[in-house]
Amino acid sequence: MLKLHNISKIYQTDEVETTALDNINIEIEKGEFVAIMGPSGCGKSTLLNIVGMLDTPSHGKYHFLEHEVAQASERQLAEIRKRNIGFIFQSFNLIDELTVFENVELALLYNSVPAGERKERVDRVLDKVGIAHRAKHMPSQLSGGQQQRVAVARALVAEPAMILADEPTGNLDSAHGEEVMEMLKQLNEEGATIIMVTHSPAHADYARRTINLFDGQVVTEMHRAAE
Ligand code: ADP
Ligand code: ADP
């Protein structure tokens, strides 16, 4: 599905140069569930942002599906993202002024899906994550766990091949965190490729493969046998 080849990311701010990623080589196959772990500041978010084409590497090659990412224009990148990638963030990132339904529908507006089909798909995905009864609520009227369900629904509605989750359980209590992990596990079993940054070893256990970063480098990798 994707291949990162000698990827480095160097941030230059004033006099300070920070090497966030240092010569990363990672290959991820379709259908994998990968956890990325490591101490704060080791480059996890930077790696996920590069994989999600939200940020560009300073050096190296990134191959995603049939695309050579460095050669794509901004517009092509936006198109590749919309068609193939769903994002889930620690802080939910819902739009406060839109209802639950509208927040999820937004992911389809960009894809020019007709209104009738949009309603059907949004209803179906809200039902799937167990939040259909809150469709007309505003995000501020929901608990953190419910907001993250909406964010999961938004990531799913365009049926992306890949889901990128940056600490999806970071703002949730353990019960709601488990619920989100169970959802991700089910999505993976249904075929979605998932890459997730987490600080929680228990949540990394849901993934089949864990990549440990330290100071911008891959230090160890672990694979878990299928159940
Ligand atoms: P993690 O997600 O593992 O906490 P990050 O990827 O956020 O790590 O950051 C890796 C390193 O790069 C850190 O030292 C961080 O301070 C630095 N960094 C991240 N983003 C930027 C940025 N936009 N500008 C400058 N430095 C950055
Ligand atoms: P986390 O550890 O949860 O990844 P961080 O606070 O390290 O959170 O970083 C969150 C985001 O803030 C990063 O993805 C990066 O884009 C930005 N960031 C981190 N460090 C810096 C920095 N030194 N300068 C500018 N932006 C930064």
Q: Could you give the domains of the chain?
A: 2-223 (3.40.50.300)
Overall average pLDDT of the 35-58 stretch: 96
Q: Are 94 and 107 contacting, i.e. CB atoms less than 8 angstroms apart?
A: no
Beta strands across the sheet bearing 209-214: 85-89, 162-166, 193-197, 33-37, 209-214, 217-223
pLDDT of 227 above 70 = no
DSSP 48: H
Q: Note the pLDDT tens digit of each residue in 177-207.
A: 999 999 999 999 999 999 999 999 999 999 9
Q: Which residues pair with 137 in a beta bridge?
A: none
Element (H, E) at 104: helix 100-109
Which position has the token pair 């890459």?
A: 195
Mean pLDDT of the chain: 94
**Residue 47 to residue 224: CA distance in whole angstroms:** 22
Q: Which ligand is nearest to the CA of 43?
A: 1
pLDDT of 85 above 80 = yes
Which position has the token pair 């939040």?
A: 131
Q: Which residues contact 51 (CB under 8 A, 6 or more apart)?
A: 2, 4, 62, 64, 164, 195
Q: By alpha-carbon position, which residue is closest to atom 24 of ligand 1?
A: 11
Closest C-alpha to 105, from 148, 72, 150, 172: 150
How large a percentage of the chain has pLDDT more than 90?
90
Cβ of 73 closer than 6 Å to ligand 1, yes or no, is no
Closest C-alpha to 28, from 55, 79, 62: 62
The whole-number pLDDT of residue 132 equals 96
Distance 126 CA to ligand 1 centre (A): 34
Distance 123 CA to ligand 2 centre (A): 34
Closest C-alpha to 162, from 91, 44, 65: 65
pLDDT of 77 above 80 = yes
80 or 111, higher pLDDT: 80
Q: Is 225 exposed, middle or buried (CB count within 10 Å of its CB: 0-12, 13-18, 19+)?
A: exposed
Give the type of residue at 89: F
Q: Are 63 and 223 contacting, i.e. CB atoms less than 8 angstroms apart?
A: no
pLDDT of 111 above 90 = no
Q: Which ligand is nearest to the CA of 38?
A: 1
Do β-strands 2-13 and 59-64 pair in parallel, antiparallel, or remain unpaired? antiparallel
The whole-number pLDDT of residue 112 equals 78
Is ipTM beyond 0.85? no
Distance 10 CA to ligand 1 centre (A): 9
Model-level pTM greater than 0.95? Answer: no
Overall average pLDDT of the 204-215 stretch: 97
